[in-house]
Amino acid sequence: MSWALFIVVLIVSLIIVRIGAIAFQLTGLEWSLAKFQSLSCFTGTGFTTREAELITGNKQRRRIASVLMVLGNAGLVILIATFAGSLNPQQVIKSKLSEPLLPFSVPPDLVRWINLLIIIVAAYVIYRVFTNQKFSNKLTDYLRRKIIRKEIFKQVTFEELLLVTGGYGVSKVEVRKNSPVLDKTLLESGLKDRDIIVLAVVRAGEAMPNPLAGTKILLNDELVCFGKLENIRNIISV
């Protein structure tokens, strides 16, 4: 069934684009930009010079973009081939596509239009499902958890501000359950001794700027830090 394969490839392609967007976001891109870049890489369109520099200038993003481009080209070829095959009456007759669906014989020309209608309706339903905010959020959260748990990409929650002074910059990192600073106060964490200054603590969406030394670091807190970016990631988000 060519139309069935077309639908499966379409669904898989949308999931791959979403995984690519999550991967880009974990490397520091803002979510709306991450989604656009993932779709751009997968389809090979809409890639501007400035945004291309954000991808090519980062090793992880180049790897993500390369995978998306390869899968996108393969997916496009399969989609075109299956779409063309589903509209080919001879192919439909050979595979007896209409037999499990209809109890009567269907003229080849009519089968062509039936398959086209099935593809259009299925594509519309898939589009509505994947653009549904509730479903989209659940799928994104599920895929993000899987990617983070498998540590496929090192997480950075936003674009790091890199300074020219030996890799120092500002970064926001999430405190995980295996972080050595978990359940310690900022003073006890020893971050200042490691040349890391905590500029703010983001807890449950609320920011606490210039936190006191006695502020306790809790699970899922996000620490906005200044220091050597490599040290920030290695020490806080182990």
pLDDT at position 97 is 44
Pick the range with the lowest mean pLDDT from 27-36, 201-210, 214-223: 27-36
What are 69-74's contacts with CB under 8 Å, separation 24+?
69/41, 69/42, 69/44, 71/13, 71/16, 71/42, 72/13, 72/41, 72/42, 72/43, 72/44, 73/44
* CATH superfamily, with its number, for domain 161-236: Regulator of K+ conductance, C-terminal domain (3.30.70.1450)
Per-residue pLDDT band for 181 (boundaries 50, 70, 90) equals: very high
CA 238 to CA 230: how far, in whole Å? 11
The residue with tokens 């996108």 is: 72
CA 20 to CA 37: how far, in whole Å? 8
Q: Residue 166 to residues 194, 229, 234: CA-CA distances in angstroms? A: 15, 10, 16
* Average of per-residue pLDDT across 148-174: 62
Average pLDDT, the chain: 78
Q: Specify the DSSP class assigned to residue 33.
A: H
pLDDT in tens, 3-56: 788 888 889 999 999 998 888 877 777 778 788 888 888 888 765 555 666 676
pLDDT at position 43 is 86
pLDDT at position 201 is 94
pLDDT at position 1 is 59
Three-state SS at 184: coil
pLDDT at position 165 is 52
Which sequence spans correspond to the domains of the chain? Answer: 2-149, 161-236
**Which regions of the chain does DSSP assign to beta strands (E)?**
161-162, 168-174, 197-203, 206-209, 222-228
Q: Specify the DSSP class assigned to residue 215.
A: P
Three-state SS at 150: coil
Per-residue pLDDT band for 158 (boundaries 50, 70, 90) equals: very low
CA 173 to CA 205: how far, in whole Å? 14
pLDDT at position 159 is 43
Smallest Cα–Cα separation from 156: which of 34, 66, 37? 34
pLDDT in tens, 63-122: 888 888 888 888 888 887 777 777 665 554 444 444 454 455 556 667 777 778 888 898
pLDDT in tens, 184-199: 999 999 998 888 999 9
